Amino acid sequence: MSEIILFDYWRSSACYRVRIALNLKGIAYQVAPTSLLDDSTKRPDYIAHNPQGFVPTLQIDGHDLTQSLGIIDFLDAKYPDPPLIPSDPLERSKTLAQAMVVAADIHPVNNLRILKYLKNEMGQDQEAIDNWYRHWVNEGFKALEAMAPDSGFFGGDAPNLADICLVPQIYNGRRFETDLTTFPKLVRIDAACNELAAFRDAAPEQVKPA
């Protein structure tokens, strides 16, 4: 098997998700640090691998995989233990819906390129940008809190895709000083996940380049 390479920006929540999934499955990989701050992802040599110019990109089995949920779905199919997405159709639908509250609703309007656009093209000050960020986190977390179980992980006794999406968003919510007191179930799940080495070792502080 050829070497697995993750094009990774340490602070990207999408990369964070993939790092967690790789760790949970015990998959060895090499990191290719890829900054979002210096337009590294816009260079022609990177665009050749990821036409969107985003991170992450996972090079595996001679293929360039993009989009964190697509990458995790591939990993779950190729390395089925432990499962991250249920095989039962109903449970699979529920898990994907929970994960997409973060990956499709909160994250896309709050990622770095959107925040930079608000600042540079729309002329918004930092306070307005931070309020924007917190607003969309709160909107998504209200729904996700209602979906969250009263005990255990979203995945029951073990984390699943929804937990993998939650933890990086909680991390960034705290970074933007989001009040999480009205989301006790999400905070509890985040704490339980971070008891696991797979989550702790994927945290931005653990992978930040020296």
The per-residue pLDDT for range 89-145, each reduced to its tens digit, is 999 999 999 999 999 999 999 999 999 999 999 999 999 999 999 999 999 999 999
The sign of the CA dihedral 4, 111, 125, 137 is negative
Burial class (CB in 10 A: 0-12, 13-18, 19+), 195: exposed
pLDDT band at 39 (very low <50, low <70, confident <90, very high): confident
User: Long-range contact list for 121-125, CB < 8 A, 24+ apart?
Assistant: none
Average pLDDT, the chain: 97
pLDDT band at 80 (very low <50, low <70, confident <90, very high): very high
pLDDT band at 2 (very low <50, low <70, confident <90, very high): confident
Mean of the pLDDT values across residues 176-197? 98
pLDDT value for 84: 98
Mean of the pLDDT values across residues 172-178? 97
89-199 shares the fold of 5-82: no
pLDDT band at 71 (very low <50, low <70, confident <90, very high): very high
pLDDT value for 87: 97
Distance CA 171, CA 85 (A): 22
Q: Are 156 and 180 in contact (CB under 8 A)?
A: no
Q: Is residue 187 pLDDT above 60, yes or no?
A: yes
Q: Is residue 1 pLDDT above 60, yes or no?
A: no
> pTM of this prediction?
0.97
Distance CA 134, CA 154 (A): 23
One-letter amino acid at 205 equals E
Give residue limits of the domains in the chain.
5-82, 89-199
Asked if the 89-199 domain carries CATH number 1.20.1050.10, the reply is: yes
pLDDT value for 179: 98
pLDDT value for 182: 98
Strand order in the sheet with 57-60: 30-33, 5-8, 57-60, 63-66
Torsion angles phi and psi, residue 10, rounded to 5? -55, -30
The architecture CATH gives domain 5-82: 3-Layer(aba) Sandwich (3.40)
pLDDT band at 210 (very low <50, low <70, confident <90, very high): confident
Mean of the pLDDT values across residues 2-27? 97
Q: Are 180 and 186 in contact (CB under 8 A)?
A: yes
pLDDT value for 172: 97
Distance CA 102, CA 118 (A): 20
**169 SS3 class:** helix
- Quote the percentage of the chain above a pLDDT of 90: 97
The per-residue pLDDT for range 55-69, each reduced to its tens digit, is 999 999 999 999 999
